[in-house]
A and B are shown apart, each in its own frame.
Chain A
Amino acid sequence: MKLVHPLMKYVRPGAISTATCAGCGDGIMAQAVLRAIDELELNIDDFVFVSGIGCAGWIPSPFFNADTLHTTHGRPIAFASGVKLARPDRKVVVISGDGDLAAIGGNHLIHAARRNIGMTVICANNGIYGMTGGQVAPTTPLGLKTTTTPYGNVERAFDLCALVEAAGASYVARWTTYHARGLTRSVKKALTKRGFSFIEVLSQCPVQYGRRTGVGNAVAMMKGYKENSLSVKKAASLNEEELKNKIIVGELVDKDSPELTEEIEKVRRIHE
């Protein structure tokens, strides 16, 4: 008997095999998002997936068989804001990379979180520019040698979750591809959460990160995620020194705040 992958029904005809390199974590993320939709029994036709430029932009586009808007570099959240504002009944999900969302698009990320607009942003953080050939990113660890930091990275890495939390998001979580089950749980939560939800996913780039920096292949990178991560609960009992170079995984923010499109609707009702 031939088994059919239960998530294949969400894949755009002709879009398999995935666009990513062998062992790329983005495929694990794609699966986690689709599994969350499947487990919630949501209709994928109620979604609009928006992505930007970079490897992670290909997670939903063209892979997901739904309305997908593949935008310019850095701007998916701004495009997605237009979609959500004009059609608040849509489930709007942005899936893109750390360079796209936090470097060139960082301004849109913080302002969408500030507005608490009802969308989910899932950021594939591979710590590097993969598609363009392994250049330094704002998420690259201090000291790492990349193709544009041949003497080692002299800049500190961004803590994206802290950034988005400070900007006012209703839901923030961090996972790695190793934590695919926790990630799926968080995506389910994010998709049903009122307001702006943000999930950072450390996602291995075995080609431009693992190979060039000597960290190793996809398996070694995922084992690294496993070994270096701590739960939010565990991390709470440790000091700064003990948390150095650790990845804190789990839910970081889960709160209720007014959502932008609902507030706009209230203003409109005054005129009815």
Chain B
Amino acid sequence: MGKEILTGVYFMQGDIACAEGALAAGCKFFGGYPITPASEIAERMAERLPQVGGVYIQMEDELASIAAVVGSSWTGAKSMTATSGPGISLMQENIGYAVATETPCVLINVQRGGPSTGIPSIHLQGDIIQARRGSHGEYKIIALAPASAQEMFDFTIDAFNLAEKYRTAVFVLADAFVGHTREEVIIPEPEEIYRVQRKLPEAGSSEGKIRGFLDEDIAPMPIFGHGFKTHVTGSCHNDFGQRNVIDAEALDYYIKRLNNKISKRAHEIISVSQDMDGKEVALISYGSCYRAAREALNILEDEGMRQVGSFRLITVWPFPRVQIQELARKVKSIIVLENNLGQITPYVEAAAGGQAEVIFLPPRVLGTLHDPHAIVDKVKEVIP
């Protein structure tokens, strides 16, 4: 058998680091379909999964890929898929199914230029809102945004842990820049890697008595093959998985339970990194834009402008509303860096609630990294 965890220091592409992160997290099933700029993840998984006793399957399309991922997860396997915008668009219905049936799975979206076919190999943070609300109905999602090849490794492990802990679909919102960048990646010793194992019902739990769904404290997952006689449905159901497609009251309960499971624990899930103590201006960023924010801060520090700090969203969803409310009370201005036409900016504005000025700053050319000097110039407009 090959090793799940290739401890060592590597010069590694982001997509490959993502695949290694998945294996380190214990992923045993990958269902996917080739698409630029995510194909390298599939290729690595095709090579590596058989080495560790897992299964790789290239399905006939993305609809089938996510379906196979959900099916395998119900047998107890840690499962994932990796794709890019067009593939995610095709997967949306079954992403809703995964959320509704509380199926742990990890979805890697190596975002590319869109809408439509767009430009496959150019990065854009075009799918941020899609990740949040792309499937129909009322639901919550968890999404992490890595900014480096190392974080492609680290955040993929985090995504698996969140998926298993909260029994839901978790996005890694990478982009072509992060996915295709080659840089140093350190893979730690196995004992240094934290892995959440799925909570299962007690063996021999009497059939029909397992509350396997809709628990705000996360129900144990009555996976297949243990005599639980589980009924899984994407239709409105109760705590036992029994379908109810006639009562509005049942729908209300179903929606609120599923949503509360995430929103009541948002404080546990949300992750931001910030160095905002005593600062006047915040650079809010996520994903690859964080790299430009960091570089701009280096330039500003060199110029002696220390009133500017970084506020980075590691989890884009759930949105860190409370944290940004607090931030807005402390600073004069917030500059939101996004490689799109402003997808989280309205959320930042709503959270800031007029307490601080919110300025949206895209790169001069969409699909490129921000020029750090352009960020510096914007800061100087705010604090002359």
| Physical contact A–B (CB less than 8 Å) | yes
A150 close to B (CB within 8 Å): no
* Given A67-B230, A78-B64, A267 contacting B50 (CB threshold 8 A): yes
Q: How far apart are B43's CB and chain A's nearest CB, in angstroms?
A: 15
Secondary structure of the A side of the interface?
mixed
Which residues of chain A come closer than 8 Å to B63, judged between CB atoms? 74-75, 78
Q: Mark B238-277, 1 if CB is under 8 A from A, else 0.
A: 0000110000000000000000000000000000000000
Which residues of chain B come closer than 8 Å to A83, judged between CB atoms? 71-72, 74-75, 224
Q: Mark B219-244, 1 if CB is under 8 A from A, else 0.
A: 00000110111111111000000110
Which 9 interchain pairs have the tightest Cβ spacing? A82-B71, A82-B68, A78-B67, A78-B64, A86-B72, A82-B72, A79-B71, A111-B60, A67-B224
Listed by A's residue number, 27 A-B pairs whose Cβ atoms lie within 8 Å are A12-B208, A45-B227, A48-B224, A61-B231, A62-B231, A67-B225, A67-B230, A71-B234, A72-B67, A72-B234, A78-B59, A78-B67, A78-B68, A80-B71, A81-B57, A81-B71, A82-B29, A82-B67, A82-B69, A82-B71, A85-B29, A85-B57, A85-B68, A85-B72, A86-B76, A87-B225, A264-B50
A residues within 8 Å of B by Cβ?
12-14, 45, 48, 50, 61-62, 65-72, 74-75, 78-87, 89-90, 107-108, 111, 264, 267-268, 270-272
Q: Judging by beta carbons under 8 Å apart, are A75 and B231 in contact?
A: no
Number of interface residues of B (CB under 8 A): 46
Point out the residue from B50, B72, B77, B232 that lies within 8 Å of A270, measured CB to CB.
B50
Which residues of chain A come closer than 8 Å to B243, judged between CB atoms? 62, 70
B28 close to A (CB within 8 Å): yes
Point out the residue from B28, B67, B93, B235 that lies within 8 Å of A86, measured CB to CB.
B28
Q: Judging by beta carbons under 8 Å apart, are A81 and B64 in contact?
A: yes
Given A68-B230, A107-B61, 17 other A-B residues pairs in contact with their CB atoms under 8 A: A62-B233, A65-B229, A67-B230, A69-B71, A70-B243, A72-B93, A72-B94, A75-B94, A78-B60, A79-B70, A80-B71, A83-B75, A85-B29, A85-B57, A86-B76, A87-B225, A107-B64
Q: Judging by beta carbons under 8 Å apart, are B59 and A70 in contact?
A: no
Q: How far apart are A241's CB and chain B's nearest CB, in angstroms?
A: 37
* Given A71-B97, A271-B50, A82 contacting B229 (CB threshold 8 A): no
Q: How far apart are B72's CB and chain A's nearest CB, in angstroms?
A: 4
Among A65, A75, A111: residue with most chain B CB under 10 A: A75
Which residues of chain B come closer than 8 Å to A13, judged between CB atoms? 208
| CA distance in complex: A158, B258 (Å) | 41
| CA distance in complex: A79, B225 (Å) | 15
Q: Judging by beta carbons under 8 Å apart, are A65 and B207 in contact?
A: yes
Among A66, A83, A267: residue with most chain B CB under 10 A: A83
Q: Judging by beta carbons under 8 Å apart, are B224 and A90 in contact?
A: yes
B residues within 8 Å of A by Cβ?
1-2, 28-29, 31, 50-51, 53, 55, 57, 59-61, 63-65, 67-77, 79, 93-94, 97, 207-208, 224-225, 227-235, 242-243
Q: Judging by beta carbons under 8 Å apart, are B77 and A86 in contact?
A: yes
Which residues of chain B come closer than 8 Å to A14, judged between CB atoms? 242
Q: How far apart are A258's CB and chain B's nearest CB, in angstroms?
A: 16
| CA distance in complex: A139, B208 (Å) | 38
Which residues of chain A come closer than 8 Å to B31, judged between CB atoms? 82
| CA distance in complex: A226, B149 (Å) | 65
Q: How far apart are B243's CB and chain A's nearest CB, in angstroms?
A: 6
Point out the residue from A90, A107, A111, A268 that lies within 8 Å of B75, measured CB to CB.
A90
| CA distance in complex: A13, B228 (Å) | 13
| CA distance in complex: A74, B71 (Å) | 14
Q: How far apart are A176's CB and chain B's nearest CB, in angstroms?
A: 29
Q: Judging by beta carbons under 8 Å apart, are A72 and B97 in contact?
A: yes
| CA distance in complex: A204, B77 (Å) | 39
Q: Judging by beta carbons under 8 Å apart, are A12 and B229 in contact?
A: yes
Which residues of chain B come closer than 8 Å to A78, judged between CB atoms? 59-60, 63-65, 67-68, 71
A270 nearest CB neighbor, chain B only: B50
Point out the residue from B2, B232, B242 that lies within 8 Å of A271, measured CB to CB.
B2
